[in-house]
Amino acid sequence: MRSTLPILASVSLAACATTPMPGDPAVPVYAVAETVPVATANEDAADDPAIWRNAASPSDSLIVATDKKGGLYVYGLDGEVKSFSEHPALNNVDLVDMGDMGVIVFASDRSDPVNAGIMLYRLDTANGTLTKLGRVATGPGEAYGICGTRRGNTLVVYTAPKSGRIGEWEIALDAAPAARELRTMQVRTQPEGCVVDHRNGTLYIGEEDVGIWRFRSDATTGELVAEVDGRKLVADVEGLALVPEGTDGGWLYASSQGDNTYMRYALPDMTPAGRFRIAKGAFGSAEETDGIEAMAGDFGPAFPGGLFIAQDGMNEGKAQNFKLVPLAEIEKALATE
């Protein structure tokens, strides 16, 4: 079903400001590991991570992440490279465990700036390698943000191209994968951050210069639930990550790229619940962060209470990489703020 949607007129003038005001204070947290830098040096290349948690052996969990000039990396929690799959112009990435069909990785393919697509892979969780399943087309525009969920036995993927036309797609994982559009939504300007609540299908989209939109599972019109205000959230709004708790609680994290911080909101009401930054410690700080990901649960001795990953756009003069922070340390820092 397709529809052209009205844009809510609730955006304040602060959301359109071109010069960020000083942000609210952000507490420091520290990375305890980082990935090997991507191979593409001296360019904006690393972008977005996704996490697969190994419930049977948490320390053997995996990270899939994009070098948008080169392809997809699979890393271990020590930051070392397990494998690399070459495919230039993959921007954002997500993954969903589809049970007997395996762990499916999908990435926004912007190799054709006029016609967006999704590249699909199956993750070999034992060896940390990717097998290409194919590409599906998702309409006009340049592919950008992406996220997905499992709905019964069906993979559902959300696309957020630069045009702001948000698509919900049912992906058939046959010998030749196919995509069928279920719903169309819209934001006015360029989005990227994309995350879906697996519990109820609520979709969150980051419109870079405006804020975070929420689309209920049965709606085509969104509501602006967090504005770019130059204090809590400073443009660009980039990566989004959701950590569920209970039936509708938990946290939504957002990369406030304009002042090198991260904002946390309490669900379900999107109540502001603290800001933090990744400061220099045993590993470097993180700046100009694009994609983020977070997941609760045991990830072994280094991350017993969960894992937070942030792309580092500076990386102290080296090629870009991803910083790994214990999620429990973020929660502890914000609890004592």
- Work out the number of other CB atoms within 10 angstroms of the CB of residue 173: 18
* Mean of the per-residue pLDDT values of the chain: 93
Per residue in 5-19, pLDDT (tens digit) is 333 333 332 333 334
Per residue in 267-293, pLDDT (tens digit) is 999 999 999 999 999 999 999 999 999
Distance separating alpha carbons of residues 101 and 69, to the nearest angstrom: 29
Q: In what order do the strands lie in the sheet with 211-215?
A: 191-196, 203-207, 211-215, 223-227
3-class secondary structure, 254: strand
Give the position of tokens 């320390």. Answer: 59
Distance separating alpha carbons of residues 286 and 284, to the nearest angstrom: 7
Copy the structure tokens of residue 44: 């904006």
pTM above 0.85, yes or no: yes
Contact 288, 295 (CB under 8 A): no
